[in-house]
Amino acid sequence: MQVTRKELIELVELVRVTTSEEIDCSQFLERAAAYVDKTDPDEVPDDFVDVLQHMLVCKECCEELHVLRALVSSRADECDECDEHEHEH
């Protein structure tokens, strides 16, 4: 199997960001909802650094977290709209 230059660069980057202790996908998914509920995307508390680290090395989990965050955000928007309608009546 021939490895492309782009694939090699991606592999080197994954090795670079890998730490000695990491969580796996199952552990990530167990903590993802709490991460979304408790964190601002720009400020990660120390107890969620491992979640952020996993997102750096696992594209699939990273994508799942972004979908979860979007769903939570859209539900919050729906709740805001419902609140606005309640004030109109």
Domain ranges of the chain: 21-88
Q: Mind spelling out the 3-state secondary structure of the chain?
A: CCCCHHHHHHHHHHHHHCCCCCCCHHHHHHHHHHHHHHCECCECCHHHHHHHHHHHHCHHHHHHHHHHHHHHHHHHHHHHHHHHHHHHC
pTM, rounded to two decimals: 0.67
Please report which confidence band the pLDDT of residue 25 belongs to, taking 50, 70 and 90 as the band edges: very high
Amino acid at 88: E
pLDDT value at 20 more than 60:
yes
pLDDT 10s digits, 33-45: 999 988 676 787 8
pLDDT at 43: 80
Mean pLDDT of 53-59: 91
pLDDT value at 78 more than 90:
no
